[in-house]
Structure 1
Amino acid sequence: MTTPLPSESPRRPLLTLGPGTLVLGSVGTQLDMSCQLTEINISAEGDSEDAEAVLCGDMIAGARTYAWTVAGALFQDVAEDGVIDFTWKHAGVEMPFKFVPDATGTAAVTGRVTVDPLNLGGTVKQKNKSEFEWSAVGTPVFDPNSNASTEGTSPGTEG
């Protein structure tokens, strides 16, 4: 196998995050956090069971599982149904989310997370932020060709 010359390498546009969207909840009861969000990461942490030896000398591989999280940082607000109020009212609730990373709307990630309440407060006379890390329920779905609108989130209902 030969390595392609640099001029033969596939060229793909690199992602610059934003403008995009992050919406939490179901249509009608959703929270659009896009204009307060300063950082977002959807990531997986893998865990493998140990391989086990069998009598014939082979090794049976252990299972590999992933724990997914949706994490980030956003500016706080204390408005009714704002980010603090919404996450405190829905603490521990499993709900859908939809993340569109840029204005093309081509790619999107959908899934479900368990909402933990955001912290409130910070440094006096500054616009304070909350960091969050919500556990995903199952595996989020990355769709590189979603042609996503920001109108809804993944199937399912709140609660």
Structure 2
Amino acid sequence: MAEKTRILGPGSLTIGANQSVKDFSADCTNIKVTPDTSSEDPDTFLDGHEEAGAQTTTWTVEGTVKEDYSTDGLQAWCLLHAGEILPFTVIPNNTAKLKITGKLTVAPLGFGGDVKARNDIDFSFSATDIATASTATGE
């Protein structure tokens, strides 16, 4: 039986493609790729049988980052790229082989919090085309 990897991190979150990739990894303290599945009510027919309603799943890439007030920080980057649909990759743990990919819509992040503190900012980007793959070459 293969050994299981149950610890999140060290890993990575990158958004973008080619030379325009932004790496969230060094600022991220929490990361989730979260499904939200809903089902329509079933249809009931005169003869008494039921047919299941449609099921839909929407996704978000969400988490928490430490604020960075520099002009090339994540908050400034997200404001600049707000509304863009970009590819993303999440690698939950570098020693495991799992990689989660898809596309997300960048949303702006807020600014500020407690004075003289390292503040956290939560983010949530809607996502599509979620897939898993292996980080191992040739798999």
Matching of residues 90-101 of structure 1 within 5 Å: 90-101=81-92
Per the alignment, in what secondary structure is the counterpart of residue 122 of structure 2?
strand
- Count of residue correspondences: 137
Partner of 1:89: 80
> Rg bigger for which structure?
1
More strand by share: 2
Spell out the pairing of 1:30-49 with structure 2 (5 A cutoff): 30-49=21-40
Q: Give 1:140's match in structure 2, choosing from 124, 130, 137.
A: 130
Q: TM-score, normalised by structure 1?
A: 0.80
- Verify the 8 A CA contact 1:88 1:116 in the aligned structure 2: yes
In structure 1, the residue matched to 2:95 is 104
Which amino acid counterpart does residue 135 of structure 2 have in structure 1?
A: S
> CA offset at residue 79 of structure 1?
2.3
SS at match of 2:18: coil
Moved beyond 6 Å, runs of 4+: none
Q: Is there any run of 5+ residues in structure 2 with no aligned partner, and where?
A: none
* Identity value in percent: 34
8 A contact 1:21–1:34 mirrored in 2:
yes
Deviation, 1:11, is: 6.5
Aligned partners of 2:112 and 2:56: how far apart in 1?
A: 36
Question: Partner of 1:85: helix, strand, or coil?
Answer: helix
Cα distance in 2 between the residues matched to 1:99 and 1:146: 11
State the alpha-carbon separation in 2 of the partners of residues 58 and 146 from structure 1. Answer: 46
Asked if the contact 1:105/1:147 (under 8 Å) is kept, the reply is no
Between the aligned partners of 1:112 and 1:23, the Cα distance in structure 2 is 11
- Which residue number corresponds to residue 18 of structure 1? 9
SS at match of 1:73: strand
Gapped regions of structure 1 (runs ≥ 5): 1-9, 149-159
